[in-house]
Chains A and B, each alone.
Chain A
Amino acid sequence: DAGITQSPRYKITETGRQVTLMCHQTWSHSYMFWYRQDLGHGLRLIYYSAAADITDKGEVPDGYVVSRSKTENFPLTLESATRSQTSVYFCASSQVAGVRTGELFFGEGSRLTVL
């Protein structure tokens, strides 16, 4: 039971480069989320998706792009990475009922460093 997996776990890139973080879940959860976690800010929502082909912005979407062509995958792309996007990124998934109760299942995180 793989659950929810993120790749890569660690990534170092340079300013201006495109980076894609992958997220895959095996539970067939309807909802998927991308958060970033920074010291002093806690977890902040970047984008979320209620189903395949349905995505919406969260609290801090600028500089990020998402897609969801399949229920199980929710990649996050930084089209032109900036140093301020250095962070730990968490993907999460949830059933419809879980969204109302805040029951999210998180991946292990992807630590991104932008030089």
Chain B
Amino acid sequence: ELQLLESGGGLIQPGGSLRLSCAASGFTFTNYAMTWVRQAPGKGLEWVAAIGGSGGSTFYADSVKGRFTVSRDNSRNTLYLQMKGLRAGDSAIYYCARVPILPASYFDYWGQGDLVTVSS
């Protein structure tokens, strides 16, 4: 069974750093690009970052460029999102999702999400 499980979220002070993880199972991880999407409380979906299957290609939303870094460890079937300089506006549920094809593709499976709260 395909599964994506996010972890690493929590309460963090403004300006702080946090690393999210997404453990993947049930499919050949290296064959797929992966992405992060977030959703602020009561708001819509916002794409954050994506990475190719080999890790060689990365894409970022303007709102996080220079502060967030997406990476992956294919030996551990795990996707990461390193977040620095966190702001209140980064508070959201962060979802990881699978991307069948890069670029211009859809997200066919999603994790259940992990909540990040940036507050003093």
A binds B: no
A-contacting residues of B (Cβ < 8 Å)? Answer: none
